[in-house]
Structure 1
Amino acid sequence: MQIGSGFAQVAVGDLHMVGLKTDGTLWMWGVVGTSTTQELAVTQPVQVGSGFAQLLTSETARKTDGSFWYWDHMKNLFRGNAGSDGILDRAPPGYRQMVGGRNNALFVLDDGAIRSVFLNVYPGDLFINPGWEGGYGNAGPVDRGFVQVALGSRSAAGVKDDGTLWQWKEREAPVLVGGGYRQVAKGSSHTVALKTDGTAWAWGSNEKGQLGNGTQSNTETPQPLGAGYAQVAASDSHSLAVTTDGTLLAWGNNDFGQLGVGPVGPSQPSPVRVVFEGAGASGLGTMVAIGTRTRLTLTAYVEIKPEHLASGAKGHPFLVAITPDGTMYTYSVPNFDRLNPANPLAWADRLQNTSSLLFVNQDMTHLSGTAFFIGYGLGATTAESLGEMLNSFRYKRVYDMQ
């Protein structure tokens, strides 16, 4: 769903999101705070700063004057602020990049050296005495020349200015992975990296298919994802990538719909195209709402493509409602029933243009925040049709209950 316009970069934190607009203003929404304060808790973007040139992570950004700024959990990890501007703190000169976890952080200095900090956490006493360390490994080429780093739950990785990729666990010395890299991203326990030739590679934990290689088997060896990639990203147990033609792909865990491929569903072990609101094929159907939320009449209409009607293809139209807590319902005249993947309910028994009056002058306040999707799938059974609809992206979002 569209959040706003005019954005040049976005990043996702634990409980917040941050966006940099083309005019240099910095915007946040969600919950941003430290261990003792909750400084921002909003559901719509709020401007928190201006004069920014680059958003580096969900907790760090650089201004046009070269100064480096940070917020949220980074405040717990780094006490070296040289100034403050509301919820933002300015780091002393010499810092090029920061990436932080719950209890650790990595810093890249201007000369490409790595500095790390670990919190000494004791029972009943949080965030005390951060323990600083210098670069990893021996002095020399290993701990100099880094241009980008990424941090997982217990491991880290970094790309150097010569294109070599290094990774390490906790306080261990970095180990060379290979050459020809230009970007690396870390999930909780998996890694996705991009080479200069546009090929993407992934390795590590794969329980939810977050490696994108079509399996759910763990591997310590980088596995190819193919060519034509421009950027990669990773979260706890899912991954995303942008291809050179601007297509956004996602794979891995989809328990909460985080892949953006439609309704909440099973994990995707291979890259799948993200579907945006209104991006579905035209003619799939519409939903008409008349009245207010307390006295609302909803009518849904599904439209089958002429070629499918003419061919007599077997299938089923679907109307799916997803509540804010992620529960899915499908419509079967005259009620919505909770979706059971083993026995999904269809709108009709065959493919035909179908119109259905869902509610008449009803109070729909209890459905506030519910999203409605319309579409149809091809198949001899409702289960086959539902799967085919999801895999072929033959659906679209038609209405949001305010």
Structure 2
Amino acid sequence: MSRHLAPLAFKFWLMLALVTGMGSVQAATVVHMATGVVNSAAVLSDGTLWTWGDNQYGQLGNGSTVSADRPVQIGSGFAKVAVGGSYMVGLKTDGSLWMWGAVQLRNKILNEARPVQVGSGFAQLMTSDTASKADGAVWYWGHMKRLIKASVGGDDMLDRLPPGYLQMLNNRYNVLFVLGDGAIQFLFVPWDPSAMIGMGSWMSGYGSAGPVDRGFVQVALGSYSAAGVKEDGTLWQWSGLDAPVLVGGGYRQVAKGSGHTLALKADGTAWAWGSSNYWGELGNATRTESASPQFLGSGYAQVAASAEHSLALTTDGTLLAWGRNNYGQLGVGPVGQDQPSPLPVVFEGAGTPGLGTMVATGTLTRLTLSAHVQIKPEHLASGAKGHPYLVAITPDGTMFTYSAPVFDRLNPANPLAWADRLQNTSSLLFVNQDMSHLSGTAFFIGYGLGATTAESLGEMLNSYRYKRVYDIQ
């Protein structure tokens, strides 16, 4: 490819790489994921934490209240993540527990747009409301404080459940506990009694019939039903005042949305069913409901469901998402485009932590933007010329590029220009400019190795040595 590559051909190639997923194969893969009603999050194999979806309460942890329809990296050193209604919680590899967004703690309301440490010495993050320490004690937080009137103890931040309580799940009116012997205990607490009017007999506590036996190792709680997997691999489901019904055997995990259920078998096959598939929650490329489990595919390691959407993690570390996307909770693109079939979630720039940075200050109407591309010393020492590169792509697909030494007010890329001034030093791109007309524009930085710009561009794309660094909101 020459320096004077035709603009249309260049745009097609580069946008194919940056936007539609050519760079979706990364050294860093997903090892854990979680989702809530309008948010999702994932931890990658390099320990980085990524979040996306609604951000009304700062629950994305990126220091703002601006939502994101694609994953945004917010931290490192994490092992697990869980998503609550207006907050998220993460467990780091050193045992420290972190929270962000808006959540009720023991003696305060946490209201932070970036992760804040709230505890230490934790061994397992269980749900968005519970985590356990090495001694087996389960600690909780959130609106559970209103449901459980008396705590057996706690510290400045968190409360502790009584001994023998291994798991706890809750929604607005119901709480399910898994006890030490695998028995389930049900608690119905209508903390908003006025909401009970006209709700029907299920308000006496769906699941109040409850599994009468023991041996449950994992449970899931939906809006109108509950399910549990026993240690023998059998999956049971119940709702209202109905007795539990056996779904089948060979299972190891179950997850519930508002009206749909996902389940994972020990052989890695995933299954979906439910009374709701209007948004494509079942992931079977239809809008048809199903009362019995439908086969989704093989090679799965984890499933998650919430409200009207679903996530699934494959054994090769690929994260898939489908269902409703009204807040960008799928992480696969524009808000409002629901997806009835699984789509891969792309973590742009994953595995390239030292590639460089972009820093923005000011408001949308008086934005100052600077950037630099960090070329590794071993690449500079190799003798191959490192060509830094910066590109911006607007929501309608129009592409712009930086032409040293100035950004020249985002003039269209014609011809291709390399941003040599960005190499290993910060350069001011523009100062106090009104960028409101470019709201939603995404900036990418990267560099390639080669004697010519053509060789460098190809090498950069083939090596996935680029990342998304900033979005004009």
Task: Give the structure-2-normalised TM-score.
Answer: 0.62
Deviation at 1:367, TM superposition (A): 8.6
The residue aligned with 1:248 is: 319
Any conservation in 2 of the 1:148–1:183 contact (CA below 8 Å)? yes
The residue aligned with 2:348 is: 277
Any conservation in 2 of the 1:291–1:361 contact (CA below 8 Å)? no
1:87 aligns with 2:157: yes
The residue aligned with 2:200 is: none
The residue aligned with 2:110 is: 40
Any conservation in 2 of the 1:148–1:160 contact (CA below 8 Å)? yes
- Bigger mean CA offset, 112-121 vs 102-111: 112-121
AA in 2 matched with 1:269 = P
The residue aligned with 1:264 is: 335
AA in 1 matched with 2:186 = S
The residue aligned with 1:385 is: none
Residues 124 and 252 of structure 1: is their aligned pair in 2 closer, same or farther, counting only changes over 3 Å? closer
AA in 2 matched with 1:237 = E
SS in 1 for 2:242: coil
The one of 62, 66, 77 equivalent to 2:136 is 66
Residues 197 and 167 of structure 1: is their aligned pair in 2 closer, same or farther, counting only changes over 3 Å? same
* Aligned residues between the structures: 332
What CA deviation, in whole Å up to 9, does each residue of 1:170-226 have, x standing for no partner?
332111000000000111111100000000001111111111111111111111110
The residue aligned with 2:3 is: none
What CA deviation, in whole Å up to 9, does each residue of 1:109-136 have, x standing for no partner?
01111111112342399xxxx9999974
Q: Distance in 2 between matches of 1:291 and 1:170?
A: 53
Q: Distance in 1 between matches of 2:358 and 2:132?
A: 46
Any conservation in 2 of the 1:80–1:91 contact (CA below 8 Å)? no
Q: Distance in 1 between matches of 2:314 and 2:80?
A: 16
Deviation at 1:401, TM superposition (A): 4.2
SS in 2 for 1:76: helix
Unaligned runs of 5+ in 1: 281-285, 300-316, 322-328, 334-346, 375-394
Q: Distance in 1 between matches of 2:302 and 2:361?
A: 45
Any conservation in 1 of the 2:283–2:323 contact (CA below 8 Å)? yes
Higher helix share: 2
The residue aligned with 1:196 is: 266
The one of 227, 233, 236 equivalent to 1:166 is 236
AA in 1 matched with 2:256 = K
The residue aligned with 1:55 is: 125
Residues 279 and 320 of structure 1: is their aligned pair in 2 closer, same or farther, counting only changes over 3 Å? farther
Higher strand share: 1
Deviation at 1:277, TM superposition (A): 2.3
AA in 2 matched with 1:252 = G
User: Higher RCO, 1 or 2 (CA under 8 Å, sep at least 6)?
Assistant: 2
The one of 230, 239, 244 equivalent to 2:301 is 230
Q: Distance in 1 between matches of 2:262 and 2:472?
A: 37
Deviation at 1:255, TM superposition (A): 1.8
The one of 65, 74, 91 equivalent to 1:20 is 91
SS in 2 for 1:239: strand
The residue aligned with 2:219 is: 149
What CA deviation, in whole Å up to 9, does each residue of 1:137-178 have, x standing for no partner?
574xxx311111000111111001110000111332111000
Q: Distance in 1 between matches of 2:284 and 2:243?
A: 29
Any conservation in 2 of the 1:231–1:241 contact (CA below 8 Å)? yes
Any conservation in 2 of the 1:257–1:265 contact (CA below 8 Å)? yes
Residues 118 and 354 of structure 1: is their aligned pair in 2 closer, same or farther, counting only changes over 3 Å? farther
Q: Distance in 2 between matches of 1:249 and 1:320?
A: 25
Any conservation in 1 of the 2:260–2:277 contact (CA below 8 Å)? yes
Alignment of 1:354-373 (within 5 A): 361-364=431-434, 372=442
Unaligned runs of 5+ in 2: 1-71, 197-202, 372-390, 401-410, 418-428, 445-465
1:319 aligns with 2:393: yes
Q: Distance in 2 between matches of 1:366 and 1:278?
A: 25
The one of 156, 168, 185 equivalent to 2:255 is 185
Q: Distance in 1 between matches of 2:219 and 2:125?
A: 15
Alignment of 1:294-373 (within 5 A): 294=366, 296=368, 319-321=393-395, 331=398, 361-364=431-434, 372=442
Any conservation in 1 of the 2:205–2:240 contact (CA below 8 Å)? no
Q: Distance in 2 between matches of 1:102 and 1:62?
A: 23
Q: Distance in 2 between matches of 1:82 and 1:3?
A: 34
Q: Structure 1 vs Structure 2: percent identity of aligned residues?
A: 58
Residues 124 and 4 of structure 1: is their aligned pair in 2 closer, same or farther, counting only changes over 3 Å? same
Residues 397 and 82 of structure 1: is their aligned pair in 2 closer, same or farther, counting only changes over 3 Å? same
SS in 1 for 2:218: strand
